[in-house]
Structure 1
Amino acid sequence: MAQTPGPQQVYSRITGTGSYLPPKRVSNQQLAQQLAENGVETSHEWIVERTGIHARYFAEPDVPSSELGLHASRKALEAAGRTADEIDLIIVATSTPDMVFPSTASILQHKLGTQGCPAFDVQAVCSGFIYALTVADAMIRAGTAQRALVVGAEVFSRILDFQDRTTCVLFGDGAGAVVLEASERPGILASDIHADGQYRDILCVPGNVSGGGVIGSPLLHMDGQAVFKLAVGLLDKAARAALDKAGLALQDIDWLVPHQANIRIMQSTARKLHVPSERIVVTVDEHGNTSAASIPLALDHAVRSGQIQPGQNVLMEGVGGGFTWGAVVARM
């Protein structure tokens, strides 16, 4: 008696990428001049030596995260050959939402000219895109969605303390997006995400809205040394765990697309993973740290420049306030 075939395994694949940077490029020299006017001393050489950053982009005061995300989303949809009406899930990773509520994802949905599909934000700071991609992949595998738009969008320039040269030189604004679709072929191979709230104070914006005012500080605070010490070890563990789940070895990775936080963290992590420098996608020099937008921005840059080719294995990883961290292994 013939056996009835089992259900077809469902995977999710990245079918399109997109990114967007606001027009205003701010070089280290320009930022140093601006800071000097406020009595804060820094220089291009000081910033490059410690971070690898040469420039970043700042959005105009009236441009919210959803607007940056809109431009990146349109490019990703175009690359995937899809329209907004074909998307049945929108997830936006952001720590700088347009407003307290509704979600930036809901606002983006309206700007895209569609309605009806679930739309929500994920808040895991610089790990946000890894978290959002993991959630979208799980929903597609479960049959809850067929085509997801996963976006990282940030306007970190709004929460920087320009009296603190150790943090204000690091961050920039931008957005990146991917279209993730159900497929019979594996795309997202595995993910590994974590958080540990005991380290919540080393990277935070410890303020909140109450009674029409801000309670606490609305500006970014960071213990850079503590973040560095945690980041390298945790990223190494998450990357190896994700690879193990995917059934891959370190040598099977064609490209490492790390969160673009600081060139020192990126290089240290790559050394621990035995990934040669020529296989690391680096955009931090021109973009700075764009938090949840940094990985999809770097991914889109590498895809459009021809670095990342179809069929290659990509390891994406990031750490963020919370303290959160994680990694995703994907076959493009």
Structure 2
Amino acid sequence: MAPAPSSSWRFRVAALVLLVLAGFVGFPSEVQAQQFVPVGPTALNVDLGSPTFSLRVRLFWTAGSTTIPIPDVDIEWTATSHGGAVTPTLYITPTDSNGEATATFTATAAGRVMIAAATPAGTGLVPVTFTIDISQQTQQFVLEPVGPTELDIDLGTPSFTLRVRLRSASNQPISGASISWSAASAGGAVTPATRTSTTNSNGEATATFTATAAGRVTITATAPADLNANPVTFTIDISQQAQQYLLAPVGPTGLDVDLSAPGFTLQVRLSGSDGAPVSGSDIRWEATHGADLVTPATTSSTTGSTGIAAATFTATGVGAIEIVAVAERGSNRVGYRIVVTDSSTPPPP
């Protein structure tokens, strides 16, 4: 079996036939040189959100003012990257009955691509070059915060909730989308570190966290990757628990005690941040210095309806005693200094 004629050979036969036809029909002038031109613009802007595009060229002869298409000629398309990328990079399509050849490509990376369409070797025609500028996908969805993106959290009230809204570019809420939340420590800590939530009919999703350590935490909310929506980042500054209770001494914090009357009583009052007395709270008392000079060295008592708690001690030796009162409810400490003497012992001569 004889080999199939090449595209270049078919091109030459077509040219000869056209020359004969030109003489037969009596064209007023000779058939001119063949033409190879683009159909449509040679510079295109392509968005990765709509990555498919087609290019077209036309191959024909001219006879006076008449154009004669040249069909069945293979056109070779070659893509060269200048930062961007398309697929395929090599493509061959034949001209149709109109002398036109079309090639379809898909953009895969942003940047510039040059695509050259060439006729078979030996035709002497200059390739047609297309410049394709590929951009990132146009944002079709928006993820936005609902409320502030910077929060100050106190460890005394450690729970907080963040909220985002997912919408289309035309401002329509997107429901049923999974939002991922991820916390990154910059000194502070929250729990959980990661979680997901789903947007409701308003396009909103919430996530609740609990602060566990003072410092800064950033929490990022991310929509599904195929939506190409921007992430939202929240900055959480976590501080130590603000003092909600105040422990104050009732009476002086410095006492002089003689072993002839060794018993003494200390009192404190516990109040809330609004100044109201706090009852039923345990107060722990501890001798932090001179524990061997007093009994008991440690004890506890409970605040009454007026917020006052008392503890009674007995001095057992001469010297200085320091006793600290501490409330269970995260308040300040109250310190006492007791100096014990013995009047029954005469001073040295």
Asked whether the two chains share a fold, i.e. TM above 0.5, the reply is no
Normalising TM by the smaller chain, what interval? under 0.3
Q: Which has the higher contact order (CA 8 A, sep 6+)?
A: 1
TM-score (norm 1): 0.21
More strand by percentage: 2
Larger radius of gyration: 2
